[in-house]
Amino acid sequence: MSVNFRVARAEDVPLIVGMIADDTISATRTGDFGDEHRAAFEAIDADPNNELIVAELDGELVGTMQLTYIPGISRRGALRMQIEAVRIVVSLRGRGLGRQMMEWAVERGRARGCALVQLTTDKARTDAHRFYGSLGFVASHEGYKLTLG
């Protein structure tokens, strides 16, 4: 399967929102495509430390993820990459596309000088936990979130 990865464009955002919302965990918190998604895309697109990435197969969008590059004082001032909102269209899951996408992301982080790649995944996503473990990610920390508003 030959996949092309690229930075998302504004016209991709409705499909990206659809991919993110296409599961029971994310559906209600993502909602239907709207102005807030357009504004979020514009902010991501304008920030050199953020990239919204899409995966294309035969000209069709089949995956997405957001990469955020975080400079830090810890780890001797190391740059780290945070990967979020990783999605593959349901019909193509289990075919190696997610692995290709994550390997591409790790190489992109390495090329930007990142010393560490990190991600979070919902505790209910046990298949994702196994997947990330198979890629060498280690569940080394416990994460916490506080909803504001």
pLDDT digit string, tens, across residues 68-96: 999 999 889 899 999 999 999 999 999 99
> Sheet containing 79-88: which strands, arranged edge to edge?
4-7, 50-57, 60-71, 79-88, 114-119
How many helices (H) and strands (E) would you count in the chain? 6, 5
Sign of CA dihedral 92, 96, 102, 107: negative
Sign of CA dihedral 18, 23, 27, 29: negative
CA distances from 26 to 32, 64, 86, 92, 143 (A): 11, 14, 11, 19, 18
Quick one: pLDDT at residue 25?
81
**pLDDT band (50, 70, 90) for residue 30:** confident
Quick one: pLDDT at residue 62?
97
CA distances from 69 to 65, 81, 84, 117 (A): 13, 5, 11, 9
Quick one: pLDDT at residue 37?
96
Asked whether the predicted pLDDT for residue 106 surpasses 90, the reply is yes
Asked whether the predicted pLDDT for residue 119 surpasses 90, the reply is yes
**pLDDT band (50, 70, 90) for residue 27:** confident
pLDDT (average), residues 104-122: 96
Q: Is 117 helix (H, G, I), strand (E, B) or coil?
A: strand
Joined tokens for residue 61: 């969008």
Mean model confidence pLDDT for the chain:
93
pTM: 0.93
Asked whether the predicted pLDDT for residue 118 surpasses 80, the reply is yes
